[in-house]
Structure 1
Amino acid sequence: MISKWLFSGALVLEAGSWASLWLDAPQVHQLLVFTFSHGFACLMLCAAVWLLLPARYRKPLPWSPLFIFSLAFFVPVIGTLGVVAAIFPALYLPRKRDKQAWQAVGIPSLPYRAQAQLHKPVFADGGLQDVLRHAPDPDQRLSALLATRRMPGKEAVPILKLALADPSDDVRLLAYSMLDKQESDINLHIQMALEQLVDVNSRTAGPVHSMLARWYWELAYLGLAQGSVLEHVLNQASEHAELGLAAGEGGELFLLAGRIALERGENERAEVLLRLAEENGMGSAQVLPFRAELAFEAGRYHEIPGLLASLPEKTRQRPPFAELVRSWNE
């Protein structure tokens, strides 16, 4: 109803604006009357048209109504007629919609999608490190990181450290979180063992010292400690190993103490401990590889082939000893 009154008022004012041009009056007065009458007519027409527009065409304000007003005001007669001729057919004679060209159906039972097939395997022949270095797809590098969860820590940690330099934020964050979890788990075990150590006496402290030596050694062995932290960890591992041995622990602890001494460069001490490990029941398959490493560190290369040959047959046939035996016998 409001739009009808606005249209009617706009029509009367527009007609009056043109009639004013034939008044017996100075041209300035005619121009002023025409301008004001035409302007009010365009305002009323703009308001009427804007109210009839669908909601989505009324915005943005003020540009939508200003566009309609500009068309009507700056193009006299033709502009007003053009606005009416453009708006009313579109409002009252909308275009018919085409019939629905598709039919909705229910989701078929699985499987209803083809599984994506990779042209190349996720992990190349060179191993996970080559995937991290050369795979262009970040998802492929993430899969390589996730695969390290099934690997021994000694093999997984170097791969995770390599991923810390990856250009993808997701790969770096995942590698850091996996490394941090391993280190946090070991530190938690150390903290629990230290708390146990407070409640035991000198006679029953042997197993706790042995446990602490193993967990400190694990930090060094996995490569989670470096620099001065590594030196501190090895010192703690050696100290607790010595305290455990003094409390009566033996066997595996002799071997662990020998490995710690070997890592610290204490070759003479390592040799004594490895011999004591054999005398306390440790098998040759467990001790001989470290005796061979000790001979290498001490420069006694002539002893290495004989030590490797003394390994049990099954041990010599599996990696990494198979390659070592073949290399030293060539």
Structure 2
Amino acid sequence: MDLASIAKLAAGTLALETGALTLLLSGDRTMYLAFWIAHAIASVPTALLMRRLLPAAMQRPARLALALAYALALVLPVLGAAGVLAAAWLARAWPARVQRLDHLRDAPKLEVFALTLDIEQRPDELPAGQVARMARDPARPRAQRIRAVLALREMAPRVAVPTLRSLLADPDEEIRLLAYSIVEVWERNLTAKLQAAMRELEGLRAEGAQGAQFARAAQQVAELQLEFVYQGLAQGDLRDFTMDQAKMYCRLALEATPAEPSLLMMHLRLSLALGAHEEAREMLLRLRATDASPTMWRPYAAELAWQERRYADVRQVLRPMRTEQVAPRLRPVVRVWSAHEEGGRDATPTAPAPLSAPATPPLHTAPEALV
């Protein structure tokens, strides 16, 4: 707003407030109501003037800033406007100091088997993040948001489901229904696959099948159960129940093929996710006894030590690993613990600590130690 407009608002405010004060000072009690009516009208240009004089950052959101200025001008006829204008002048004269936190970084979290993906917190790191942000933005045109929601339908459910769930509370009914229909189709298709796999497993059990055939059927049921969690279709208590069911069917498959590395790895991941440390330790020992590559189970052994707060063991477990041997999202973890080890290289060397918890027998009592 230019100076001419500000001057016009100031002149109008002064004239209206002067007229209102004249009614108040007339001595006629019947003019008291007329004063408040005139003052309420005069508060409109006062609020506009107050808002325009505020710094740009304080003018948003526009409706709330204008409502606050009008309330102050109405309740405090002179002090409200004077106080806001004084605060605006101080805000312009002494801008707030922004504390720089660029030197701070979040340490990488040691979680090998991540079951959730918060794309809302990383909108620019994933290709789906920009589409998700467009779909959630109510300020965009409806047609553009609908195209964004339809684009989420073509993406992996694990990436798209968190955004679609947030859209179930969208104020636009069409957006809500579209998001719900997409999630329902995915859930219905996955449920149909799970029911078919369970029927196949029950048929094999009725026939008395054993060995690899029965193990593959039970493993398929466990994987489909876990897919509900992996895609974000199971939440809360249902998520825990689904993971328990997946672990139960994984146990059935392990009874048929006790030395299958893929089943041992699945049970290990589920045990860590559910906090069953003893079962996870058992799976690690059984994996060590097979011909499974140590690069498969060492990150999970480190996660077990991390969950049990045995931080020295984390370094010992990750020591033989190099960054090129692990997944990209685990490379920062290996680098952090390797750097920690190099920083303390001059200290007195200690014997490698076992992966077992303090209250349980150490792993080196097994035929071969994990570390």
TM-score, scaled relative to structure 1: 0.54
Deviation at 1:176, TM superposition (A): 1.7
Deviation at 1:232, TM superposition (A): 2.3
Equivalent residue, structure 2, for 1:197: 201
Tell me, in whole angstroms, the C-alpha distance in 1 between the residues paired with 2:151 and 2:320: 35
Q: Does 1:259 align with 2:269?
A: yes
Tell me, in whole angstroms, the C-alpha distance in 2 between the residues paired with 1:309 and 1:251: 23
Contact kept? 1:157, 1:222, Cα under 8 Å: yes
Deviation at 1:135, TM superposition (A): 6.1
Give 2:171's aligned amino acid: P
Equivalent residue, structure 1, for 2:284: 274
Deviation at 1:290, TM superposition (A): 2.5
Deviations 1:70-119 (A, max 9, x none): xxxxxxxxxxxxxxxxxxxxxxxxxxxxxxxxxxxxxxxxxxxxxxxxxx
**1:321 pairs with 330, 340, 345, which one?**
330
Equivalent residue, structure 2, for 1:290: 300
Equivalent residue, structure 2, for 1:78: none
Tell me, in whole angstroms, the C-alpha distance in 1 between the residues paired with 2:178 and 2:301: 38
Contact kept? 2:272, 2:304, Cα under 8 Å: yes
Equivalent residue, structure 1, for 2:124: 125
Deviation at 1:132, TM superposition (A): 4.0
Tell me, in whole angstroms, the C-alpha distance in 1 between the residues paired with 2:321 and 2:151: 32
Deviations 1:204-240 (A, max 9, x none): 4222111111111111222211233223212211111
Contact kept? 1:190, 1:215, Cα under 8 Å: yes
Tell me, in whole angstroms, the C-alpha distance in 1 between the residues paired with 2:278 and 2:221: 24
Give structure 1 stretches of 5+ with no counterpart: 1-122
Deviations 1:144-190 (A, max 9, x none): 43444454443332222222222222322222222222222221111
Tell me, in whole angstroms, the C-alpha distance in 1 between the residues paired with 2:321 and 2:138: 40
Deviation at 1:271, TM superposition (A): 2.1
**1:136 pairs with 131, 134, 139, which one?**
139
Contact kept? 2:321, 2:334, Cα under 8 Å: no
Equivalent residue, structure 2, for 1:231: 240
Q: Secondary structure at the match of 1:238?
A: helix
Tell me, in whole angstroms, the C-alpha distance in 2 between the residues paired with 1:192 and 1:251: 25
Equivalent residue, structure 2, for 1:167: 171
Q: 1:310 to 1:151 in 2, by over 3 A?
A: farther
How many residues get paired? 207
Tell me, in whole angstroms, the C-alpha distance in 1 between the residues paired with 2:317 and 2:157: 27
Contact kept? 2:302, 2:318, Cα under 8 Å: yes
Deviation at 1:133, TM superposition (A): 4.2
Contact kept? 2:134, 2:145, Cα under 8 Å: yes
Tell me, in whole angstroms, the C-alpha distance in 1 between the residues paired with 2:291 and 2:153: 33
Give 2:229's aligned amino acid: A
Tell me, in whole angstroms, the C-alpha distance in 1 between the residues paired with 2:324 and 2:226: 27
Tell me, in whole angstroms, the C-alpha distance in 1 between the residues paired with 2:296 and 2:150: 31
Deviations 1:109-145 (A, max 9, x none): xxxxxxxxxxxxxx97362343344462134433443
Q: What's the RMSD between the two structures over aligned residues?
A: 2.9
Give structure 2 stretches of 5+ with no counterpart: 1-121, 341-371
Tell me, in whole angstroms, the C-alpha distance in 1 between the residues paired with 2:146 and 2:285: 45
Give 1:267's aligned amino acid: H
Tell me, in whole angstroms, the C-alpha distance in 2 between the residues paired with 1:246 and 1:305: 33
Give 1:170's aligned amino acid: E
Deviation at 1:272, TM superposition (A): 1.7
Contact kept? 1:220, 1:233, Cα under 8 Å: yes
Give 2:250's aligned amino acid: A
Whose radius of gyration is greater, 1 or 2?
1
**1:183 pairs with 180, 183, 187, which one?**
187
Give 1:222's aligned amino acid: Q
Q: Secondary structure at the match of 2:324?
A: helix
Deviation at 1:252, TM superposition (A): 0.5
Q: 1:149 to 1:208 in 2, by over 3 A?
A: same
Q: Secondary structure at the match of 1:199?
A: helix
Tell me, in whole angstroms, the C-alpha distance in 1 between the residues paired with 2:236 and 2:172: 27
Equivalent residue, structure 2, for 1:222: 231
Contact kept? 2:323, 2:334, Cα under 8 Å: no
Deviation at 1:309, TM superposition (A): 5.2
